[in-house]
Amino acid sequence: MAARESSLDVVQRELTAFARRARATAARMHPELSLVSYTILSHLEERQGCRATDLAAHYMLDKSTVSRQVAALEKMGFIERRVDESDHRVQLLHLAPGGEEILASARSSRQESIQARLADWDPEDLARFASYLVRYNADAAAHP
C-alpha cells in the first residue's frame, strides 16, 4: 500500500472497476438472464411472496423498471404473481418451477467461474473477504 494512496482510495477504485465489469461478465456468462433478472430471482428465492415495491426499494430501481422486469420474467415462466387477498393492490411474487431451475443453473455456472478465480485463496482469507463484503454492503444500506 503506497503512502500516497489510502485504503479508501483503493476500495473505491477497485469497487468501481468491479462494478464496471460485472455487467459484461454477467451478460457473457448468462445471455438469457440479465443481472437484474438474476438478482430478482435470487431475491425471490429468499423471500417468496415479496412485493414489486420491495424489490424496487431494495435495489434502488424505479417501480416501472421492476414492473417491466417482472412482466418479462413472468412471460418466460420464471415467476408467478398472486394477488394478495387482504389487499387487492398488491401482487405477491413467487418463484415458478422454471425460475428455480434457471436460477440454480445460473448460480452454479457463476459459482464455477468464481471458484476458478478464488481457487488459490486461503480459506481463511476467503472467509474474511466474504465477511468484509457483507459488512460493506450492510454499511452501504445503512448510509444511503
Q: Which SS3 state, helix, strand or coil, does residue 3 take?
A: coil
Q: What is the dihedral of CA 26, 28, 33, 36, to 10 degrees?
A: 30
Rounded to whole angstroms, the Cα distance separating 134 from 1 reads 23
Binding partner selected for residue 72 from DNA, a copy of itself, none, CB under the kind-specific 5 to 8 Å limit: DNA
Rounded to whole angstroms, the Cα distance separating 41 from 34 reads 11
Instruction: With beta carbons less than 8 A apart as the criterion, state whether 95 and 45 touch.
Output: yes
Task: Tell which positions 101-120 bind DNA, by CB under 7 A.
Answer: none
3 binds a copy of itself (CB under 8 A): no
All three cell numbers of 100, joined, read 428455480
Binding partner selected for residue 116 from a copy of itself, DNA, none, CB under the kind-specific 5 to 8 Å limit: a copy of itself
Binding DNA (rule: CB under 7 A), the pick from 90, 94, 98, 110 is 90
38 binds a copy of itself (CB under 8 A): yes
- The site for a copy of itself (CB under 8 A) is made up of 1, 7-26, 35-36, 38-39, 42, 59-61, 107, 110-111, 113-118, 120-121, 123, 125-137, 139-140, 142-143
